[in-house]
Structure 1
Amino acid sequence: MPKSETPLLGGTANRGQVVRVGDTVRRPLRPSSPATHTLLQHLERVGFSTGSEGAPTLLGIDDQGREVLTYLPGATVTPPYPAWSMTDAALDSVAGLLRRYHEAMIGFDPDGHPWAEPVPAAYVDGLVSHNDPNLDNFVFRDGVAVALIDFDLAGPGSALWDVAAAIRLWAPLRPDADIHDARHGRTLARLRRFADSYSLDETDRARLIDAAAENHIWCMDYVRRGAEAGHPWFHQRWTTGEAELTDRTNTWFANHDAQLRQALLR
């Protein structure tokens, strides 16, 4: 008998379309799927993906035309955020896993593949970055990040672009009044800690705040375009406060530029 399908939350773009079947995950194909499949095969080949950690392993395409990936057991971070996910130890593990991913991608040639969403040219240096290191795209076990998932937005970028995106989301970099969890009041400390845990070099530290501000604009423009195109989940997100939060955060970056840069000084 066919195994039952258990719905998984999925991201905003594919919400309601991702399911677990036994020890596998089934996800809809996208125009960029050939590129992400090549990426996942590379990660398996270099040993970043071990079957249970690192990243999902591509198993093929099922009879419904969905990609089949290994299911990685563990917890992802979704609201309401559990206490363990907001700890410095969890933050350190995210930075460490992201760095290992970047090291694993050295030598991978992105040319000739149909990547999804181009990043600003100033932040493209030949490395294929994940481009969506959101809280719910890390798998944790015992409070430690052990795997990255959801490579739909992966494409030519840089380690700096990924670190900027991760810090923006995990610190988080936004007005304190818009932080409603244990990270409230700790933005600068978590910004510095993530950069230190990643071992970000001086050159990238000098560019990090500009990169984070541009990453915010890039990400929110992607959401806005999805909403305008009629995507139901992007539309819901954009029209229930995201547009206003985007404006507040853009202003916050401009008003706190000096403080953010000071926090990164060693």
Structure 2
Amino acid sequence: MVEVETPLLGGTANRGLVVRVRDTVRRPLRGNSEAIHALLRHLEDVGFEGAPTILGIDGQGREVLSYLPGETVTPPYPAWSMTDAALDSVAALLREYHQAVAGFRPDDFSWSEPVPPAYVEDIVSHNDPNLDNIVFRDGIAVALIDFDLAGPGSVLWDVATAIRLWGPLRPAADIHDARRGRTFARFRRFADSYGLSEADRLRLVEAAADNHVWCMDYVRRGAEAGHPWFHQRWTTGEAALTQRTNHWFTAHADALHHALLA
């Protein structure tokens, strides 16, 4: 019997290549798949339910993961996804992931995209908790997906990534949803909801700015290498937005610090 494959939306690097088959997800293997599979097995072993389970490799050489029912946040963003309750639940999920991954040792594996050395501490961070990489049920974040960029990092780096995307931290004119005008309040709220340490709060603004540079460099290199979706994204506005956002971080660093520490 031919299995029905339903394409799953979202993402850039694997766009059009990720499908659902019954209660499984099939995705292309990558150079870091061994590392990611070991990470997912660790999360399963410690009882963390907020990530897919690795089930094996199918006959087409694709990894087979458990399908996690729920919704991811893709444009046009639904109203519930822009609420403080949704934001709080993302912070809680990220904290639970960090607690679950704490005992995993990454040294024997190859990872795909190293984070800046200043942000490599003692955990494997997800490194891409984007809006479409978190599964929600009833408006509450319940699972992380797409661990392609996971690797040695830190709590600080993951929190900086998450709040940069979920704040979002960018010029107000480039925010076209209900979050516009609430950037600083959401920035503070996420750090509070996560329970970020005082030491990490002092570094969070710099980390978020550095994360933006790191992420956009990844997109730029993908575009230059000829990846069609990265090329489309970079040449249809992302390059200009990157420059505007870099300037925004510089111009608003003091205001971000004040919002976080006042």
TM over 0.5: yes
Matched, 1:249 2:258: no
CA contact (8 A) 1:96 1:198 kept: yes
Number of residue equivalences: 262
Task: Give the match for residue 74 of structure 2.
Answer: 78
Task: Give the match for residue 261 of structure 1.
Answer: 257
SS at match of 1:182: coil
CA contact (8 A) 1:10 1:18 kept: no
Q: Per-residue deviation at 1:100? A: 0.3
Task: Give the match for residue 13 of structure 2.
Answer: 13
Q: Distance in 1 between matches of 2:211 and 2:94?
A: 17
1:104 to 97, 100, 107: 100
Task: Give the match for residue 177 of structure 1.
Answer: 173
Deviation by residue 1:48-102 (Cα, 9 ceiling, x = unmatched): 02xxxx1000000000000000000100000000000000000000000000000
Q: How does 1:24-103 map to 2 (within 5 A)?
A: 24-49=24-49, 54-103=50-99
Q: Distance in 2 between matches of 1:111 and 1:31?
A: 16
Q: Distance in 2 between matches of 1:10 and 1:184?
A: 23
Q: Percent identity of the aligned residues?
A: 77
Q: How does 1:170-209 map to 2 (within 5 A)?
A: 170-209=166-205
SS at match of 2:68: coil
Q: Distance in 1 between matches of 2:228 and 2:214?
A: 20
Task: Give the match for residue 119 of structure 1.
Answer: 115
Task: Give the match for residue 3 of structure 1.
Answer: 3
Q: Which amino acid aligns with 2:24?
A: T
Unaligned runs of 5+ in 2: none
Matched, 1:132 2:137: no
Deviation by residue 1:84-136 (Cα, 9 ceiling, x = unmatched): 00000000000000000000011210001010100000000021000001000
SS at match of 1:42: helix
Q: Per-residue deviation at 1:9? A: 1.6
Deviation by residue 1:150-200 (Cα, 9 ceiling, x = unmatched): 000000000100000000000000000000000000000000000000000
CA contact (8 A) 2:56 2:65 kept: yes
CA contact (8 A) 2:53 2:65 kept: yes
SS at match of 1:264: helix
CA contact (8 A) 2:89 2:141 kept: yes
Q: Distance in 2 between matches of 1:37 and 1:120?
A: 23
CA contact (8 A) 1:227 1:238 kept: yes
CA contact (8 A) 2:10 2:74 kept: no
SS at match of 2:261: coil
Q: Distance in 1 between matches of 2:123 and 2:138?
A: 30
Q: Per-residue deviation at 1:3? A: 1.8
Q: Which amino acid aligns with 1:173?
A: L
Q: Distance in 2 between matches of 1:154 and 1:123?
A: 13
- The two structures have a TM-score, normalised by structure 2, of 0.99
Runs of 4+, deviation exceeding 4 Å: none
Q: Per-residue deviation at 1:10? A: 4.2
- The two structures have a TM-score, normalised by structure 1, of 0.98
Task: Give the match for residue 239 of structure 1.
Answer: 235
SS at match of 2:65: strand
C-alpha RMSD of matched pairs (Å): 0.6
Q: Per-residue deviation at 1:2? A: 2.6
Unaligned runs of 5+ in 1: none
Q: Which amino acid aligns with 2:237?
A: G
